[in-house]
Amino acid sequence: MTVTPLLPKNAPFAPEEIELLNKVVARTTPQQRSWLAGFFAGFEAAQGGAAQPAAAAKPRVPLTILYASESGNCETLAMKAKKAAQKHGLEAKIYDMADADMALLAKAKNLIVYAATWGEGDPPARAIDFYTALMSDAAPRLDGARFAVLSLGDTAYVHFCAVGIAIDARLEALGAARAADRMDLDLDFAKQAAEWSEGALAKLAPAPDAAASGTVVHVDFTGGGYQAEDDEPQFTAENPLEAEISALVNLNGTGSTRETWHAEFEFDAPGFFYQPGDAIGVLPENDPALVDQLLRASGLGSDAALLLKVQKGFDVTTLSRAAVENYAKLTGRSDVKKLLDGDAFAKFASDRQLVDLFETFSEKLSPEQLLSLLRPLPGRLYSVASSPKAHPGEAHLLVGAVRWASHGKQRKGVASMYLAERRKVGATARIYVKPNRHFRLPSDGKTPIIMIGAGTGVAPYRGFMEERVETGAKGKSWLFFGERNYTNDFLYQLEWQDHLASGALSNIDVAFSRDQPEKIYVQHRLWERREDLQSWIADGAHIYVCGDEKGMAKDVDAALLKILSETAKGDDDAGRAKLKELTKAGRYQRDVY
Amino acid sequence: MTDKRAKNEIIKEQSRQLRGTLAEGLLQVETGNIAEDDHQLIKFHGSYIQDDRDVRGERGKKKLEKAFSFMIRLRIPGGLMTAKQWLALDTIASTYANGTLRLTTRETFQYHGVIKSNLKRTMQAINAACLDTLAACGDVNRNVMTAANPHLSKVHKQAYDLGKAISDHLLPRTGAYHEIWLDGEKVEDQSRDANKGEEPLYGVHYLPRKFKTVVAVPPDNDVDIFAHDLGYIAIVEKGELIGWNVTIGGGMGMTHGDLNTFPRTADHLGYCKPEQAINVAEKVLTVQRDWGNRENRARARLKYTIEDRGLDAYRTEVEKRLGYKLGKPKPFVFSGTGDPLGWRQSIDGKKGEDKPWHLTLFIENGRIKDRPGMALRTALREIAELGISEFVATSNQNVIIANVTAKSKAKIEAILKSHGVSLDISSRLRANSMACVALPTCGLALAESERFLPELITALEDGLDKAGLRDDDIVIRMTGCPNGCARPYISEIGLVGRNPGLYNLYLGAAFDGSRLSKLYAQDVGKDKIVQLLQPIFLAYAKGRKSGERFGDFTIRAGYVKATAAGNKFHADIKLA
Ligand code: SRM
Ligand SMILES: Cc1cc2nc3c(=O)[nH]c(=O)nc-3n(C[C@H](O)[C@H](O)[C@H](O)COP(=O)(O)OP(=O)(O)OC[C@H]3O[C@@H](n4cnc5c(N)ncnc54)[C@H](O)[C@@H]3O)c2cc1C
Ligand SMILES: Cc1cc2nc3c(=O)[nH]c(=O)nc-3n(C[C@H](O)[C@H](O)[C@H](O)COP(=O)(O)O)c2cc1C
Ligand code: SF4
């Protein structure tokens, strides 16, 4: 994992000194940093000083968590363990046996297995292949690896926990060392399973590192550092960061009418700061197929080098008036020129893209001429869906897939489809930070927050909640979430459940528009809950609205106005004034697009 | 000393007569699930929490909880519905459920895929149709099945009336149902009195396990009398009902690999007069309530009470509580368990008068939905809209369009035809087939059933042709696990899922439902099943005595031994 070697605000220096030091430190290499550490330590020692160098971030030990689950119990336990592993200095990766193979097993040095038994002592359907391979001669030797197995079962069955028992024995037979004794649990497993996981993780955890003892200046390196608001981000659209995509999941369940991608970027770049509420810019690449159409329309079909160049750096979708003007000039075509008369352009351009212009008024062009007509490909912004404190060295985005058809063509959003269709886990993409100072958590953690969002508008609130958990903020919080269908479109459902269970999230209200005959949207829920909302606002709550402007923010704004007017005994002007006042005070913040 | 009772006993005891935390659970918007204990309690209200097993694998990765939804089972004694009710039920299917109606093996309907936020309004919509779901599941007397179609004859009507009366008499009295689902309002159904909170009959523990009652009118054994806890067989002399033979101790469910569990055919308890029948039901139920096993749910059905205490002891206790002795069972004859498909006219009724007609429609595995080329649901809806018929759900997952005049027959046939619903079935094997729901909704399924049996039968039909048996009645039933929801152990060919794609094959049951089958082959997949049955079909076609049934033949020809009684079900098995 990555830690940002920046001095925190509370470092024993004057603010301007901290800023000065950070300017330097931000650009240091690990070697430079350890040299400095050594230097100061040596220096102090030479002076007979007491202070030790600050504790370096503990090296994290890798842990592989495997689960074989049918009805999800083992899966849940595995996920909990992944969370807990962090505390124990373990860097856990979690795999469903359905997605794991012997190669992966061979690599595991520390292994925890959660296995359920099904049928008549059989593995869960999805785990059968892995299980069979494990039991076969194809299974790798595991000498040097350490493992622990927890089996779930039902004592009502003849072959109680058969699968867990078999796996436990097999791992030992393959040469791995048992770090913790296997436990076979019945249907009421929750409590014991939790205790067992703690124990197993403790046994697999690395020995506490020596530096941590003795007199130490404790510095929290896991915090992801901080960045003064007025600092220019180091990574910009001009100077983007090439980040690895470490996760890419369509969060909507099979059968959904939606497609919303959760994308995780991983990087080792100290200077890449962001805060919840910020946006992350993505510099996409065009769909090669579309670029190819464009080149063919200009008689440049065979030019592979040109295709690549355009794909990576030029906007081939936006049909601007300027583009038409330039094309008219360049080609001297009167019919193209006509498009500039009166409302002809608006008519033609609506729901059309550059390729339509080039195809309708096809002309042979030279590569230079073509490029002269294209503008550079702009980045697209995405509200960051993570807190750097919860995910050091990572940034998570929530991206709605954009697809539509017009004028007989299937169209695809450039950036969203770039991530959804043309990027895979392990590939990289160019990203940068777009700070948003007007969409920030209250500086005082005790301030209540009301978070309103539909669809991808929920993204920043995931970051908000993670941030509040990490900073131990005690304020109440309330999420209003809207989408189409409960079963398949409840974005981040499991995480909201965890936040509710831990108390980090106080209230949640949901509006799913297509589950019942009448349409229900977030603004309806706001109105239903207006009494509580009014008292929250009276208690100084901050209100956040994020997501689609046309589709939601408008109506939410109207609903809030209505609610505030009601508070003001039905006086609309008073309501409007109150909303202004809240906005001024930074208590009504919107991140809409 | 420690409490050895089954967990469910404590859940019931602490549930305040089935209330639990259901009301609170409905308000929890962050989850489509309900509290663990409420999973058990909601059954008594006629609903099950389930999740779509087809998508389990992806949910966690998508940060979604399991795809929870509720199955809702109606209580429709005797399966009789008005056309109006049918329309209401059909509307509910598309408004709140997954767009299908599922006829069950017990003369009622199930909805699947109702999400929590719609559960209450669905219950209220059902109630508005003057139907309910109370006690459709749970440790109580379930929906009572009666010989299909009360309109068929006077005796059939009497059988229906008895079933309805027993269903009402043995209904839980708790006000929980009305509080939670109907906001306290009263159902237009005199059978219940919402103020009487507690349970004179059931107490706080209800029964040790489910309890199922059926009423048969020979020669039809469509209700499979021997598969249920309590059964009544109409005894008729010169067209007049004179009394009932009473049977007890039938049941199908068992657990793979647990020899202490087995299907069991019912025994004769005795004979009673019509006016005694309801009281007999009450006493049989209360003895099971007091004697049934409350420590081990796998052995809690009435059938095991009889295995453990003996039939005579049970009879003596029932007679003690009745205050009189039951008579000796009277002779009767059953011809079969299937539904006579197609048009059928009422049996009795005055001479010369235009006796009503009834059309029994084959519904493959009970699933009523519109498929490309066959808009079954729409067809039935349009027939209901005519308002010229009633509807009867049968115990074979079929439906009867009942009580229509001779003039209307053509109209009904025309509607069916226009929606691609044909009256002729590809083979008699298919016409005599049933499959349980199983995947993706059933949480206990080990293998496919409803989604697999149709294609298996298609594969078997070639073998039937080779043997020339396409038009011979052979009963085949499949379930996705050993619980036996489609009564596979009293089916001439029984297939019971054990693992994805693998089934146990049972043979040798009696065509009239009076004898259990025997395991013939274990863990066989589609091709193997066809391979195994093909030669038996041929042998049967060649070697059968005149009128000899397939099930009887497989015994005489030595493929399996006859199963004399439930506790011999696992005995002398010789696998193919
Ligand atoms: C819908 C239906 C099968 C069908 O395709 O029609 C059905 C479906 C289920 N049955 Fe059944 N049973 C159905 C008739 C039966 C029958 C046949 C009968 O009663 O004539 C039996 C065998 C007879 C008997 O009771 O012994 C039957 C024996 C079981 C059992 C085993 C009971 C036992 O004593 O071992 C279970 C499991 C349990 O109760 O623990 C069960 C449980 C279930 C459940 C509720 C699964 C569960 O407990 O989670 C199934 C719901 C599946 C779904 O997704 O809809 N079902 N079930 C039938 C509904 C009948 C009704 O309307 O009430
Ligand atoms: C501050 C900010 C935060 C944002 N946060 C998020 C976020 O968290 N998640 C997220 O998914 N998006 C977010 N967006 C929107 C995002 O930046 C992109 O606009 C979006 O992903 C579409 O980009 P694209 O390249 O895929 O589509 P483009 O290639 O840019 O195509 C989008 C354009 O195509 C046209 N179009 C789209 N649909 C149709 C249609 N049905 N009919 C006709 N024309 C259509 C419209 O002109 C639209 O502007 C945010 C935007 C801003 C400004
Ligand atoms: C149909 C079925 C079959 C089962 N078979 C067994 C078994 O043979 N042995 C056992 O110990 N548990 C058995 N169980 C219990 C499960 O292992 C138990 O519910 C476990 O918690 C499931 O974990 P999972 O959700 O991770 O799959 C079975 C459960 C079901 C529903
Ligand atoms: S038999 Fe088993 S699989 Fe089929 S519905 Fe009943 S419980 Fe489910």
pLDDT digits (tens, 9 = 90+) for B239-270: 899 999 999 999 999 999 999 999 999 999 99
CA distance B479 to chain A (A): 14
How far is Cα A251 from Cα B522, in angstroms, rounded to an integer? 41
Instruction: List the strands of the sheet with A241-250, edge to edge.
Output: A380-383, A279-283, A428-434, A241-250, A260-266, A394-400
Instruction: State in Å, rounded, how far the first CA of chain B is from the last one.
Output: 49
Task: Say yes or no: CB of residue A546 within 6 Å of ligand 2.
Answer: no
Residue B469 CB partners (closer than 8 Å, separation 6+): B429, B537, B540, B541
pLDDT, tens only, A313-361? 999 999 988 899 999 999 999 999 999 998 999 999 999 999 999 999 9
Mean pLDDT, all residues of chain B: 95
Indicate whether residue B50 lines ligand 4 (CB < 6 A): no
- CA distance linking residue B393 with residue B105, whole number of Å: 9
**Subunit contact A510:B115, Cβ cutoff 8 A:** no
> Which amino acid appears at position B534 of this protein?
Q
| Catalytic (active-site) positions of B | 73, 142, 210, 212, 436, 442, 481, 485
- CA–CA separation, A366 and A384 (whole Å): 41
Q: How many CB atoms lie within 10 A of CB A485?
A: 18
Q: What is the H or E stretch that residue A480 is in?
A: strand A477-483
Radius of gyration of chain B (CA): 23
Chain B CA closest to residue A76: B60
d(C-alpha A112, C-alpha A196), whole Å: 11
Residue indicated by tokens 């009423």: B215
A50/A43 Cα distance (integer angstroms): 11
Quote the pLDDT of residue A229.
Answer: 40
Eight-class DSSP state of B347: S
Residues of A with CB under 8 A from a CB of B: 70-72, 75-76, 79, 96, 98, 118-120, 122, 125-126, 156-159, 249-255, 262, 486-488, 490-497, 500, 508-510, 512, 515-517
Distance of CA B260 to the CA centre of its chain: 24
Looking at residue A52, its amino acid is Q
CB-count exposure of residue B354 (10 Å: 0-12, 13-18, 19+): exposed
Both tokens of residue A62? 């890798």
Q: Is pLDDT at B184 greater than 70 in this prediction?
A: yes
Task: Tell me if residue A204 falls in helix, strand or coil.
Answer: helix
Task: Tell me if residue A586 falls in helix, strand or coil.
Answer: coil
B117 part of contact set with chain A, CB < 8 Å: yes
Ligand 4 atom with minimal separation from the B437 CA: 5
Pocket probe for ligand 2: among A380, A410, A418, the residue whose CB has the most ligand atoms within 8 Å is A380
Q: Whats the size of chain B, residue-wise? A: 576
The predicted pLDDT at position B126 comes to 97
- Residue B446 touches chain A, beta carbons under 8 Å: yes
> According to the model, what pLDDT value does residue B269 have?
98
Task: List the one residue out of A287, A306, A288 whose CA is nearest residue A373.
Answer: A306
Q: Which residues contact A215 (CB under 8 A, 6 or more apart)?
A: A50, A51, A52
Chain centre distance of CA A563: 33
Question: One-letter amino acid identity for A311?
Answer: Q
Selecting from B60, B64, B298 the residue whose C-beta is nearest the C-beta of A156 gives: B298
Cis peptide before B219 (omega within 30 of 0): yes
Chain B CB contacts of A98 under 8 Å are 57
* Average pLDDT value for residue range B305-326: 98
CA B322, CA B338: separation in Å to the nearest integer? 35
Burial tier of B442 (Cβ tally within 10 Å: 0-12, 13-18, 19+): buried
Chain B residues within an 8 Å CB radius of A71: 51, 56, 66, 443
Nearest to A383 by CA among A369, A400, A361: A400
Query: Which residue would you say has higher pLDDT here, B307 or A191?
Result: B307
Chain B's closest residue to A80, CA to CA, is B60
pLDDT, mean of residues B367-380:
97
CA distances from B383 to A249, A469, B374, B404, B412 (A): 47, 60, 15, 11, 6
B60 vs A75, A122, A510: nearest CB: A75
Q: Counting Cβ atoms within 10 Å, is residue B407 exposed (0-12), middle (13-18) or buried (19+)?
A: exposed
The burial of A502, by beta-carbon neighbours within 10 Å (0-12 exposed, 13-18 middle, 19 or more buried), is given as exposed
Cα angle for residues B517, B518, B519 (degrees, 5° grid) = 130
The residue nearest atom 30 of ligand 2, judged by CA position, is A413
Order of strands, edge to edge, in the sheet holding B357-361? B80-82, B390-393, B399-404, B357-361, B342-345
* Residue A530 C-alpha from the chain's centroid: 31
| Distances B519 to A283, A464, B46, B549, B567 between C-alpha atoms, Å | 65, 61, 33, 18, 14
Q: CA of A454 to nearest chain B CA: how many angstroms apart?
A: 15
**Residues of chain B found within 8 Å of residue A253, distances taken between Cβ atoms:** 55, 58-59, 62, 64, 67
Burial class (CB in 10 A: 0-12, 13-18, 19+), A434: middle
**Distance (Å, whole) CA B251 – CA B228:** 5
Which residue in the block uniquely carries the two structure tokens 């002592």?
Answer: A121
Q: Is the dihedral angle over the CA atoms A332, A336, A339, A345 positive or is it negative?
A: negative
CA distance B88 to chain A (A): 15
pLDDT of B3-44, one tens digit each?
Answer: 899 999 999 999 999 999 999 999 999 999 999 999 999 999
Question: In this complex, do B298 and A495 lie within 8 Å of one another by their Cβ atoms?
Answer: no
Instruction: Please report, as a single letter, which amino acid is at residue B318.
Output: V
Q: Which among B29, B65, B256 has the least Cβ separation from residue A510?
A: B29
Spatial distance between the Cα atoms of B450 and B440, rounded to a whole number of angstroms: 10
DSSP track, A263-313: EEEE---TT----TT-EEEEE----HHHHHHHHHHTT-TT-HHHHHHHHHH
Select from B128, B122, B145 the least CA-distant residue to B46: B122
Q: State the count of interchain CB pairs (< 8 A) between A and B.
A: 94
Q: Which residue of A has its CA nearest to B33?
A: A487
State the smallest CA–CA distance between residue B91 and chain A in angstroms. Answer: 12
Asked if A126's CB is within 8 angstroms of B64's CB, the reply is: no
pLDDT in tens, A484-523: 999 999 999 999 999 999 999 999 999 999 999 999 999 9
> In angstroms, rounded to a whole number, what is the distance separating the alpha carbons of residues A311 and A300?
14
CA of A488 to the centre of ligand 3 (A): 26
- Pick the residue whose CA is nearest to atom 44 on ligand 2: A351
ipTM of the complex: 0.91
Close Cβ partners of B461 (under 8 Å, ≥ 6 residues apart): B426, B427, B429, B430, B470
Which tokens hold the place of A47?
A: 């002076």
Residues 6+ apart with CB under 8 A from B422: B416
Q: How many CA atoms are closer than 13 Å to the CA of B486, on its beta-carbon side?
A: 34
Q: How far is CA A406 from the centre of its chain?
A: 31
| DSSP at B53 | G
Looking at residue A252, what DSSP letter applies? S
5-44 of B, contacting A, C-beta below 8 A = 29-32
CB contact under 8 A, A508 and B500: no
Separation between Cα atoms, residue B412 and residue B430, nearest integer Å = 23
Backbone φ and ψ of A401, nearest 5°: -70, 130
Q: Do A72 and B32 touch (CB under 8 A)?
A: no
Helix runs in A108-260, H state only: 128-135, 162-173, 190-204
Annotate A333-349 with DSSP letters as a single string.
Answer: -HHHHHTTSTTHHHHHH
Mean pLDDT for B278-286 is 98
Under-50 pLDDT residues of chain A: 1-3, 49-56, 210-230
Residue A399: strand, helix, or coil: strand
B37 alpha carbon to ligand 3 midpoint, in Å? 18
CA distance A397 to A265: 8
Residue A382 pairs in a beta bridge with: A280
The larger pLDDT score, comparing residue B352 to residue B497, is at B497
**Is the shortest distance between the CB of B363 and ligand 1 below 6 Å?**
no
Closest residue in chain A to residue B65, using alpha carbons only: A494
Give the residue from A524, A538, A526 showing the smallest Cα distance to A568. A538
CA-nearest residue for atom 2, ligand 4, is: B481
Give B185's pLDDT tier (boundaries 50, 70, 90): low
HSE-CB at A475 with a 13 A cutoff on CA atoms is 24
CA dist A354 and A280 (Å) reads 27
Amino acid occupying residue A160: F
Residues within a 6 A CB radius of ligand 3 = A 69-74, 116-121, 124, 152-154, 157, 159-162, 187; B 444, 446
Nearest Cβ partner of B63 from A120, A495, A500?
A495
The tokens describing A70, both together, are: 């049918």
Question: Any CB–CB contact under 8 A between B523 and chain A?
Answer: no
Confidence label for B526 from pLDDT (cuts 50, 70 and 90): very high
pLDDT, residue B352, reads 64
Strand-pair partners of A377: none
Which chain A positions have a beta carbon within 8 Å of B93's beta carbon? none
The pLDDT score that the predictor gives to residue A54 is 45
